Amino acid sequence: HEGGFLIGFWLSPTARPLESIMTALLLTSGYCCDTGAVAPSFHVAPMQCYTNRHLRFLLRRLNAAAVLWTEMEKAADLLASEAALERRLMHAPAERPLVLQLGGGEASELRRAGELAFARCGEFDEVNLNCGCPSIEKGG
């Protein structure tokens, strides 16, 4: 890979998700193969139904520099239930840097859900807005 950063690899559709992500964290260090330069960041993509605070804590122990993400959460669902919001998004400082991923189509809902998540669940380092994922009906 000429001049590029090695920050991940393709996973087989038959791979077990947890085993695959742990392997990626152990094998991928975020450096350029050609120059040895350090990549700005290595992001661990969320896996629906697997990425919770316990898995993020384990991933953090495996790679202290990785940027972790929450699963994509539907803004409307989080606004409907503070218990669900806390269960899905509560995190420990050790999980940071952490990206909050919110999905929805209404700007006011996304804003309110983001504000509520920060107020009830702690700081996030980034917010990612998913406004058109085809599987948004399955998320959250």
Per-residue pLDDT tens for 30-77? 544 555 555 556 788 788 888 888 888 888 888 888 889 999 999 999
**What are the chain's domains?**
41-130 (3.20.20.70)
Please tell me the distance from the alpha carbon of residue 139 to that of residue 126, in angstroms, as a whole number. Answer: 19
The yes-or-no answer on residue 133 being catalytic is yes
Q: Chain centroid to CA 58: how far?
A: 13
Q: Are 85 and 91 in contact (CB under 8 A)?
A: no
pLDDT of residue 120: 92
Of the chain, the percentage scoring pLDDT greater than 90 comes to 27
Q: Are 78 and 88 in contact (CB under 8 A)?
A: yes
Indicate which residue of 32, 121, 131, 133 is catalytic: 133
Does the pTM exceed 0.75?
Answer: no
